[in-house]
Amino acid sequence: MSESNGFLVLLPGQMIEIPQNSNLSWLRLFYALPRELVEKRPKYLDLPRNIRRVLDDETYRKMLRSDSFLELVWDCYAWAAWQFFQVPGKGGAYQDIPGDGRNYSGDFPLWRMSYLILPHFRNKFEYEMDWSFQNLFAAPPEHEIAWLTYQQFSNLVGNLTDLVVKEQNWQPIIDEIWNKRQPEDYNGRNRVRRDFVRTWTHSRTIPTLSLEELREDGAVSNGNVLYDAADPTADVETKVLEEDRIEGFKRRLNDTDRRILELRMEGFTQQQIADRVGFQVPSAVAKRIRHIANLFDDYVSSN
């Protein structure tokens, strides 16, 4: 299966693709931020909590195209994920990263991992949680997304961080980074720094990457691209797929998936679709829709 090109939304009479390299693809994570963090960039408090209102107004679309939108979302989630990384402590026990996170260098690999975890969060939102773009577009026109509390956001990121670290088998990497840290990784001036200096015995050169370099090349470690930065100059508009392409794609589907696709595009709910195709629960329909989205990516890549 090819890497997903975008998030597919099925609506009455149309299919919409949201490119993963667009700023818009991060809007769902923005809507899960608590007000206390969005207040760090107060202009985004004015961003409508309804995706259709955002896309219908050029002022709001311009806000999404800005670097500051990406920085707000990425920095908030990376900072939150950092709080839940566990590092080896005394006696073999694990602990939170000690000290004030602001005293660690931005080049410290654990800070970089806190940003590399974000695409995994985005996929969790879209494919494993009830917070997908499909649900954003399917909500009533007047519906506004409620703010999460700070505690709800903390619980959310804590759970997601634990899941991703486990699924991606990151803990051995985190352990190795922590056990082989170096003086340049920590900029504090207290006892913690002195303790670190006693154990930092290796030498490592960590290049500083600009946001522009990330957009062009992605984040690279040992020659491997870790993730591609979104391009804020890309249009935030959704891509409405051509009718002939939709029809060509439909012909590739089996009867059940074609029926699900057609019913979803006609506006039927997942429960209504489940009743019509003989599924016992609507979650089975959600699973098939995700499968259809993956098949569509393969179809686009091969045509």
> What is the number of other CB atoms lying within 10 angstroms of the CB of residue 181?
22
pLDDT band at 228 (very low <50, low <70, confident <90, very high): very low
pLDDT band at 51 (very low <50, low <70, confident <90, very high): very high
In this prediction, residue 242 carries a pLDDT of: 64
Could you tell me the residue ranges of all domains in the chain?
1-21+243-303, 22-227
In this prediction, residue 245 carries a pLDDT of: 75
Give the C-alpha distances (Å, rounded to integers) separating 198 from 178, 179, 186.
Answer: 13, 12, 13
pLDDT of residue 63 exceeding 60: yes
Reported as a single tens digit per residue, the pLDDT across 203-215 is 333 344 444 444 4
pTM, full prediction: 0.72
The Cα–Cα gap between 190 and 195 comes to: 9
Classified as helix, coil or strand, 293 is: helix
Residue 53 is which amino acid? R
Higher-scoring residue by pLDDT: 44, 215? 44
Give the C-alpha distances (Å, rounded to integers) separating 16 from 2, 137, 196, 250, 293.
Answer: 19, 10, 51, 15, 11
Give the C-alpha distances (Å, rounded to integers) separating 128 from 12, 34, 76, 285, 294.
Answer: 23, 21, 21, 13, 14
What's the mean pLDDT in 80-103?
90
What are the E-state strand segments in the chain?
A: 6-11, 14-19, 86-88, 94-96, 219-221, 224-227, 239-240
* CB-based contact 23:230 (threshold 8 Å): yes
In this prediction, residue 240 carries a pLDDT of: 56
The Cα–Cα gap between 69 and 47 comes to: 11
The Cα–Cα gap between 112 and 170 comes to: 13
279 in the Ramachandran plot: left (φ > 0), alpha (ψ -120 to 50) or beta?
beta
- Return the CATH number of the domain spanning residue range 1-21+243-303: 1.10.10
Tokens linked to 129? 């949680």
The Cα–Cα gap between 258 and 60 comes to: 35
Q: Which of 40-44, 60-64, 98-102, 278-282 has the lowest average pLDDT?
A: 98-102
The Cα–Cα gap between 250 and 175 comes to: 48
